[in-house]
Amino acid sequence: MTENRVKARRRTLKVGKIVFNERQSVIDCTIRNLSDAGACLELPAGVGFPTSFHFTVGVEGPVRPCKVRWRSRNRVGVTFEYNP
């Protein structure tokens, strides 16, 4: 399997939140791995959300804009978007 990530990710098991729809929609997720550049998120199968959204680690973590890079049945890989 070829590694396409810019940075290596650390395995983790933390709570995260997917935030979209002008902060009116929030989906809880489990963070399976994380780096400064992206993350793998686990969520209930069949949950719908846009390809770009904001993401936060825990309840009071920084809010980061991100973009979906891949999806499976109950996981999604995202990269964090940086605003210059």
- The DSSP symbol for 37 reads S
Q: Is residue 5 part of a domain?
A: no
Convert the pLDDT of each residue in 19-50 to its tens digit: 999 989 999 999 999 998 999 999 988 889 99
Phi-psi label, residue 32: left if phi above 0, alpha if psi -120 to 50, beta otherwise: alpha
Residue 31, domain extent: 10-80
Confidence of residue 6 (pLDDT cuts 50, 70, 90): low
Is 28 within a domain?
Answer: yes
Q: Which residues contact 81 (CB under 8 A, 6 or more apart)?
A: 52, 64, 65, 66, 67
Euclidean distance between CA atoms 45 and 5, whole angstroms = 24
Domain total of the chain: 1
**Euclidean distance between CA atoms 30 and 43, whole angstroms:** 6
CATH no. for residue 35?
Answer: 2.40.10.220
